[in-house]
């Protein structure tokens, strides 16, 4: 029980930051490009209570942890409301609004890699070991969120980026997939297809960051 409490205490901060700042970044980008909806609803905030979804943030990941023996931990937060029609250039600005979330995860990944580097430079003690473990969790969760959200399937960020980049007629048809997006993702997840597609990418990203910061693999 004590070990479980310690694990939760170490993982809580990086996981909460990864989820909340990802969503807040979408809202901030939307406001920057002309849509104040998220700001008006108080969603441009690091307060996790504004972003946590009972089903997507707690129940689904919990079930996956109980039932799976590995692979990708899947979940979601409350989507930040974005009215794309209020963006100054809806189709092109959609790219930046969508990319802001994974961009926030990339920034946090680099931050936690720096924390990991500092932890390895410190003497091994009661402070540096939890620090390294927290950094490890922070790196892992941000890699997973970034890569998963860049998967080109609406309503994931990668799907919205694809809609922004595709020719208008093709983009409209591709966007119609969004209503089936989460069922498709769940099927891909539980059949192992999602893991086989994304795990190599996550390993590549992790390896590049380790090489950049000269971290032990």
Distance CA 10, CA 203 (A): 22
Comparison of pLDDT for 45 and 139, the residue scoring more: 139
Distance CA 110, CA 162 (A): 25
User: Which is catalytic among the residues 23, 136, 178, 210?
Assistant: 23
Half-sphere exposure of 121 (CA within 13 A, CB side): 8
- Range from 162-166, 179-183, 192-196 that averages highest in pLDDT: 162-166
How far, in Å, are 6, 91, 129, 142 from residue 211 at the CA level?
29, 36, 21, 17
In this predicted model, what pLDDT tens digit does every residue of 61-117 receive, in sequence order?
Answer: 667 656 655 555 566 778 889 999 999 999 999 999 999 999 999 999 999 999 999
23 as an active site residue: the answer is yes
């Amino acid at each position: 029980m004590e070990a479980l409490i310690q694990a939760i205490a170490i993982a809580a901060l990086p996981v909460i930051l990864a989820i909340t700042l990802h969503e807040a970044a979408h809202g901030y980008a939307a406001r920057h490009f002309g849509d104040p909806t998220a700001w008006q609803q108080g969603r441009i905030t690091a307060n996790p209570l504004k972003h946590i979804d009972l089903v997507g943030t707690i129940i689904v990941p919990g079930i996956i942890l109980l039932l799976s023996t590995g692979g990708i931990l899947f979940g979601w937060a409350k989507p930040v409301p974005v009215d794309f029609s209020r963006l100054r250039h809806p189709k092109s600005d959609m790219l930046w609004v969508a990319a802001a979330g994974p961009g926030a995860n990339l920034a946090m990944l680099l931050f936690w890699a720096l924390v990991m580097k500092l932890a390895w430079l410190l003497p091994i003690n009661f402070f540096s070991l939890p620090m390294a473990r927290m950094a490890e969790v922070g790196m892992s969760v941000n890699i997973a969120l970034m890569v998963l959200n860049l998967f080109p399937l609406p309503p994931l960020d990668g799907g919205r980026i694809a809609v922004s980049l595709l020719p208008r007629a093709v983009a409209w048809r591709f966007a119609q997939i969004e209503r089936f997006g989460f069922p498709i993702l769940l099927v891909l997840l539980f059949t192992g297809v999602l893991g086989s597609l994304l795990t190599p990418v996550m390993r590549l990203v992790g390896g590049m960051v380790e090489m950049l910061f000269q971290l032990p693999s």
